[in-house]
Amino acid sequence: MIRIVFQRRKCIGCNACVEQAPAHWVMSQKDGKSYLRKSVKKGEYYVKHISAPECEENLRAARYCPARIIRVQTF
């Protein structure tokens, strides 16, 4: 299984994740932070399970995120 774990509180709204993986990330008009589409809030984190073909673009989003708050975990 692969999942994305996103610590939204620390997002600085730079849009890099949206540029890398627009199918998964979108900027919120409300607070200017990014939102992980179809994710579930778990405490401080937003979590979403993804498939193997969706992994690469989200790894790119994680790599380009200057706040380092996107994790792609395989387990």
Binding pattern for the stretch 15-54 against ligand SF4, x by CB under 6 A and - elsewhere = xxx----------------x--------------------
Q: Which is nearer to ligand SF4, 2 or 7 (CB)?
A: 7
Smallest distance, ligand SF4 to C-beta of residue 36, A? 8
Please give the full DSSP string across 10-22, using - where no structure is assigned.
G-----HHHHH-T
Residue 11 binds ligand SF4 (CB under 6 A) = yes
Q: How would you classify the pairing of strands 45-50 and 2-6?
A: antiparallel
Contact residues for ligand SF4 (CB under 6 A)? Answer: 11-17, 34, 65-67, 69-70
